[in-house]
Each structure stands twice: as C-alpha cells, then as structure tokens.
Amino acid sequence: MGSKNKLKRFKENETFANVVQPTREDVLAGFKHKGQWASFFGNNNPIVLELGCGKGEYTIGLAQMDPDRNYIGIDIKGARFWRGAKTAIEQNLGNVAFLRTQIELVDHLFDEGEVSEIWITFPDPQIKYKRTKHRMTNPVFLERYKKVLRPGGVINLKTDSEYMHGYTLGLLQGLGHEILYANHDVYKNEGAPSEVLEIQTFYENQYLENGKPITYIQFRIN
C-alpha cells in the first residue's frame, strides 16, 4: 500500500465514530473507555475482542452472525482495519468498533470482567525463541487476558501455524487450563463451531489454496 493511501485511510479513520485511537500515554494514564464500554455502545451486551484484527474481516463476520453482542477489533495498524471500520458503517453495524493500540495494553483498556470472549486469529507465531515474549498465547499474555475476561469467559485461537497450535496446547495443558475444544484441521475433521468454518479471511483463503490446514483451539483460563 502506498503512503498516500495510508495517509488517506488514517484521515478517514479520524472521522469514523466506530474507531478509537488513544495514545499509549492516554491508555496508561487512565483510559476513558475502560469500564465504560457499555456507554460507548449504548447497551449492556457482552463484549467480544478480536486481537490483531488485521482488516477486520473476522470482527465484521462475527458481528453479522450475532447482533446481540458487541465486537471490538484491536490492531496497531489503522490502515488495515480501515476496511473493517468502513464496512461496519456501510452496513450499519452498530455493534462493531475498532481500537488502534498495542495488544499488550489490553488490561489497561478493559476493566476486570468487562470482556466475555476473545478471538486470536492468525497471529504471527513468533517461532524464534527470542520472540517468545511476543507470542500472543504466552503465559504473560494469558494473565492479561484473564484480568479482563469475566468468570467462565473463553479464548479462541484460529491459526494456520501448526507450531502455534502445538505450542499453545502444550502450554495450556502444562498450566492446567481448560481446553474446551481442539482441532488440528477444521475443514477435514468434523465438529468445529460454525463461526470457525463460515468466516474466512483473505489470508485464510490463500492458506487453504496452498493446502495448509487451519487449526483451532477454544479454551478457558483457570
């Protein structure tokens, strides 16, 4: 994407009511929407996050499937989720928002128990050992998610990375967390939830064309 297109999208994001773009300092000093997301949406419906939402395809797909829940896509790259934010406005999806910030700040963005569910879709597996701290299912991130999830809240990991799938399964088992469902090839093995099978991102379609299996884990942090 050219720099002109990026700048255009950044400017358009600033006009979208469904886009929130705090600075890191704003978040750490006391984020105004923390604990107040019900006021932002104008209802008390459950809140679902997509972390690393990219173009927002999964956030939009989930919101279309379940209008009685509020969906927030989080990503630091606003030029990417511009497409999702614009689609939500065009389709009058009032249960969608996008938040431009670092995922590591999630426990500063939401109050304890304010989130019902989390989706992590096709994250960078950060395979190198020195990148472990950036892996989105490492123990530090899991503790952050636990802080914002309501009791019984679930996390969903959908990925094309067999490494990420295996790493996460092993970690969950080792830490004694509850694995609700695991599937190492959702399109070949029966039983995956409809939202796993019916929503496909641009990159997921590319992975499928190349014959890569798509994996999925749903779990609960104890």
For the chain, give every domain's residue range: 3-220
∠ CA 154-47-75, nearest 5°, is 90
Do 168 and 157 contact (CB within 8 A), yes or no? yes
Q: Give me the count of residues in the chain.
A: 222
Residues near 29 by Cβ (< 8 Å), separated by ≥ 6? none
Domain 3-220 superfamily per CATH: Vaccinia Virus protein VP39 (3.40.50.150)
The vertex-47 CA angle with 61 and 219, nearest 5°, equals: 80
Q: Which residues are catalytic?
A: 124
Instruction: Tell me if residue 127 falls in helix, strand or coil.
Output: coil
Tokens representing 94? Answer: 């009032």
What string of pLDDT tens digits covers the 222 residues of the chain? 566 788 899 898 999 999 999 999 999 999 999 999 999 999 999 999 999 999 999 999 999 999 999 999 999 999 999 999 999 999 999 999 999 999 999 999 999 999 999 999 999 999 998 999 999 999 999 999 999 999 999 999 999 999 999 999 999 999 999 999 999 999 999 999 999 999 999 889 999 999 999 999 999 999
